[in-house]
């Protein structure tokens, strides 16, 4: 996401940064570049205009041009303004002080409401909340079934009464049930509708009146481009909403909608959905997103993810083993699983500062399948083999390859890689940093494996 | 396009008054949008139609409408293949449409191989002498290489049974989509050779200007448009009407 914009902005800013002194015309030309980059990214042109104006005013201030490192100052200002454009430090959902928090989801057809409902349910579920969903889309065939299935996957209860009942009645009934069953959150899924469809908009207003939601979220497809902002604006006119859920952000290299929505409607993006899996959904942090766009990485999110997913005790035990040189393939597997719990690798790389700029990394298909294979190979070993990989001779290799559905070469590669890793660990335990050659060897060792077939999940 | 119009006005081929220029512009736009006259080809027995596209662009709904027209209006027997085995309740959604259209549905387990569903559907269609097979596929973002590979595989599975199939591969594109629509058409076309576009949700405020870019850059014509939720709201694409609507205020 934001790849295209990110590249353009980063190259403009590195140009600025490379200069020791900045003249007014340098700033001018940089601003022109930034304006073009934003326009190409499908950002609303009014937004671009006012954005570059503020930016320019700030950059031409004397504290910038006369500072010791004006280039760095400009980068800092762009970062701050970009974050402000998307909503500053981020906004929170309003939560009920008692009883269930009611969240009403609305949006156009196909923007991803039902999926977003389930993802949001899973998001709250992870915080230990008891979440329920209300199936009020009675129009689209099988929308109720979809919500029931997705709800189950997200670990949420689904209130549904088929497709015969009136959506307003379903919502009212679901709220009563949620109160009686003391749920923490009730998410109301509605049918997709156009803002010009008066009947359906009136229905939405009635659901709203009956359930008095704490938050109304508009679900917006990031790929909609300029039109997304228009949709949000017209929705804002007929049905007030409190925030936006941006979906399919991974399908859009421009990010124009994400950058314009706050400025045009005044409503912040609260959540962003970035992938097929139910976990590919997170709170939207404008400040962190700005840093990612500018290639500064998002270490905060990475740390948060790690804290959520990595079991501290397990990590300590592993470290202990590493220090004592007892690290076996079993431990390697545990470690691998911990890292994978944090989400797809490609997502993690984008959070590392400077990594986005590494072309090879970006274009290399980061293969989750490769990791699947490593797991399969290790799982096909006996406990003895895992503890002591030295045991693995030719015939064992053949057996392991057969058992894991891989080739002997793959097994060889893994064993070799593991050996190199152990050498490095030993060095690190002894207080030495690994040499760059060692690192390169380790990184390069896995590259010749054949590409696995397409796989989901 | 603009250059061409300017040239024509300057050379006197088009009189320099507002109405004439406007009419000529509509003609030019329609010309670009129509590429070649291309009806949907159903001459093969059975004709295989494959529907692809990004999530939420209206694939399943479009298939339902196509099946209804083919079966209720043209009297053809239709088999639908629910090869979207990924999204929850996608097969149920198609089932509802199959009932409405009076078409047969072939489905697999959720999470099963989409190629296998397409394979079964074609076998079933052959056994029953059906006229048309419509293959629904899971929505996928064009940026996800592995999912695009999966789609190419479904196509290969179909081709193994019938070498010149699918006879029509249609991509559904949301009319509200911005420039991204061009990327979608391009990448899907690279994976599965798209024959035509179904421009959906043209009933909103959207004018679907992206169709023009797709037709002129990729030479893929728009074949159908979706203008509403009822069965009759799927229509053949009329370049002249489209061009007029594009310029309408």
- Checking ipTM against 0.90, whether it exceeds it is no
Asked if A29 is an interface residue toward chain B (Cβ–Cβ < 8 A), one would say no
Which segments of A252-359 are extended strands (E)? 269-273, 281-283
Q: How many CB contacts within 8 angstroms connect chain A with chain B?
A: 129
User: Å from B15 to nearest chain A CA?
Assistant: 34
Do the Cβ atoms of A254 and B147 come within 8 Å?
A: no
* Half-sphere exposure of residue A250: CA atoms within 13 angstroms, side-chain side: 20
> DSSP assignment of A327-346, as one string?
--HHHHHHHHHHHHHT--HH
Q: Give contacts of B105 with chain A, Cβ < 8 Å.
A: none
Closest to B92 (Cβ–Cβ): which among A145, A276, A453? A145
Q: Give contacts of B95 with chain A, Cβ < 8 Å.
A: 141-142
Q: Give contacts of B192 with chain A, Cβ < 8 Å.
A: none
* Both structure tokens of B53: 């596209």
Question: Chain B neighbours among A 91-120 (CB < 8 Å)?
Answer: 108-112, 115
Asked if A237 is an interface residue toward chain B (Cβ–Cβ < 8 A), one would say no
Q: Give contacts of A230 with chain B, Cβ < 8 Å.
A: 205
Rounded Cα gap, residues A44 and A62, in angstroms? 30
Mean pLDDT of chain B: 83
Binned at pLDDT 50, 70 and 90, residue B180 comes out as confident
User: Å from B93 to nearest chain A CA?
Assistant: 4
Do the Cβ atoms of A453 and B87 come within 8 Å?
A: no
Rounded Cα gap, residues A421 and B52, in angstroms? 44
Do the Cβ atoms of A196 and B205 come within 8 Å?
A: yes
> DSSP assignment of B79-122, as one string?
EEEEE--SSTTHHHHHHHHHHHHT-EEEE--TTS-HHHHHHHHH
DSSP A158: E
* Both structure tokens of A425: 């660990």
Report pLDDT for A296: 73
Place of tokens 């200007």: B209
User: Å from B33 to nearest chain A CA?
Assistant: 21
| DSSP helix/strand/coil, A440 | helix
Q: Is A338 exposed, middle or buried (0-12, 13-18, 19+ CB in 10 A)?
A: middle
Q: Output the tens digit of pLDDT for each of chain A's 457 residues.
A: 677 788 888 888 888 888 777 788 888 888 898 898 888 888 888 889 999 999 888 888 767 777 777 888 888 888 888 888 888 777 788 888 888 999 999 988 888 899 999 999 999 998 899 999 999 998 888 889 899 999 998 999 999 998 888 999 999 999 999 999 999 999 999 988 877 788 888 898 899 999 999 999 999 888 876 777 777 887 887 778 899 999 888 877 677 788 888 888 888 999 998 887 888 888 888 888 888 888 776 666 666 666 666 666 777 777 777 777 777 888 888 877 777 777 666 666 666 665 555 544 455 555 677 778 888 888 899 988 888 888 888 899 999 999 988 888 888 888 888 888 777 777 766 655 555 555 555 544 444 444 444 444 4
Residue in chain B nearest A274 by alpha carbon: B141
């Amino acid at each position: 996401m934001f790849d295209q914009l990110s590249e353009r902005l980063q190259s403009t800013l590195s140009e600025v940064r490379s200069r020791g002194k900045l003249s007014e015309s340098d700033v001018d030309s940089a601003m022109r570049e930034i304006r073009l980059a934003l326009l190409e990214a499908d950002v609303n042109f009014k937004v671009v205009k006012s954005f570059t104006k503020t930016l320019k005013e700030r950059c031409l201030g004397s504290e910038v041009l006369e500072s010791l490192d004006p280039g760095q100052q400009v980068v800092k200002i762009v970062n701050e303004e970009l974050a402000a454009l998307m909503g500053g430090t981020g906004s929170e959902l309003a939560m009920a002080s008692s009883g269930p928090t009611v969240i009403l989801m609305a949006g156009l057809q196909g923007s991803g409401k039902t999926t977003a409902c389930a993802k949001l349910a899973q998001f709250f579920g992870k915080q230990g909340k008891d979440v329920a969903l209300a199936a009020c889309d009675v129009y689209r065939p099988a929308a109720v079934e979809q919500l029931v299935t997705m709800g189950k996957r997200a670990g949420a209860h689904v209130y549904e009464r088929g497709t015969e009942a009136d959506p307003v009645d379903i919502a009212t009934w679901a709220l009563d049930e949620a109160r009686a069953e003391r749920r923490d959150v009730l998410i109301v899924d509605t049918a997709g509708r156009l803002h010009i469809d008066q009947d359906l908009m009136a229905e939405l207003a009635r659901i709203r009146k009956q359930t008095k939601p704490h938050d109304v979220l508009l679900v917006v497809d990031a790929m909609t481009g300029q039109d997304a902002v228009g949709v949000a604006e017209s929705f804002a006119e007929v049905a007030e909403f409190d925030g936006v859920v941006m979906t399919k952000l991974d399908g859009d290299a421009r990010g124009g909608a994400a950058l314009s929505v706050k400025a045009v409607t005044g409503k912040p993006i609260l959540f962003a959905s970035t992938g097929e899996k139910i976990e590919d959904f997170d709170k939207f942090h404008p400040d962190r997103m700005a840093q990612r766009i500018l290639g500064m990485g998002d270490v905060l999110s990475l740390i948060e993810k790690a804290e959520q997913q990595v079991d501290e005790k397990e990590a300590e035990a592993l470290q202990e083993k590493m220090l004592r040189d007892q690290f076996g393939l079993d431990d390697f597997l545990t470690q691998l699983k911990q890292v994978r719990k944090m989400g797809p690798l490609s997502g993690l790389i984008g959070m590392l500062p400077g990594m986005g700029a590494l072309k090879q990394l970006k274009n290399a298909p980061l293969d989750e399948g490769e990791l699947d294979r490593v797991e399969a190979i290790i799982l096909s070993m006996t406990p003895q083999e895992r503890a002591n990989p030295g045991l693995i001779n030719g015939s064992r290799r053949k057996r392991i390859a057969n058992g894991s559905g891989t080739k002997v070469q793959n097994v060889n590669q893994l064993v070799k890689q593991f050996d190199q890793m152990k050498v490095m660990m030993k060095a690190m335990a002894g207080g030495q940093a690994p040499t760059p050659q060692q690192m390169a060897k380790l990184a390069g060792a896995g590259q010749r494996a054949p590409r696995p077939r397409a796989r989901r999940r | 396009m603009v250059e061409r119009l300017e040239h024509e006005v300057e050379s006197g081929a088009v009189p320099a008054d507002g109405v004439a220029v406007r009419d000529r512009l509509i003609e030019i736009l329609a010309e670009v949008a129509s590429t070649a006259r291309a009806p949907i080809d159903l001459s093969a027995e059975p004709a295989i139609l494959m529907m692809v596209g990004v999530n939420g662009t209206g694939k399943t709904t479009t298939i339902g409408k196509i099946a209804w027209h083919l079966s209720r209006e043209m009297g053809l027997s239709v088999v639908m293949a629910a090869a979207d085995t990924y999204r929850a309740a996608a097969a149920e959604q198609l089932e509802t449409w199959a009932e409405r259209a009076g078409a047969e549905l072939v489905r697999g387990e959720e999470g099963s191989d989409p190629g296998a569903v397409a394979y079964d559907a074609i076998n079933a269609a052959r056994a029953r002498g059906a006229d048309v097979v419509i293959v629904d596929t899971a929505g996928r973002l064009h940026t996800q290489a592995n999912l695009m590979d999966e789609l190419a595989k479904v196509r290969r599975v179909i081709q193994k049974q019938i070498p010149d199939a699918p006879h029509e591969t249609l991509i559904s594109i949301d009319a509200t989509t911005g420039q991204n629509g061009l990327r979608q058409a391009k990448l899907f076309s690279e994976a599965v050779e798209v024959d035509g576009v179904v421009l959906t949700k043209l009933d909103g405020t959207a004018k679907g200007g992206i169709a023009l870019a797709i037709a002129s850059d990729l030479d893929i014509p728009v074949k159908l448009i979706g203008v509403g939720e009822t069965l009759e709201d799927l229509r053949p694409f009329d370049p002249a009407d489209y061009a007029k609507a594009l310029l309408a205020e």
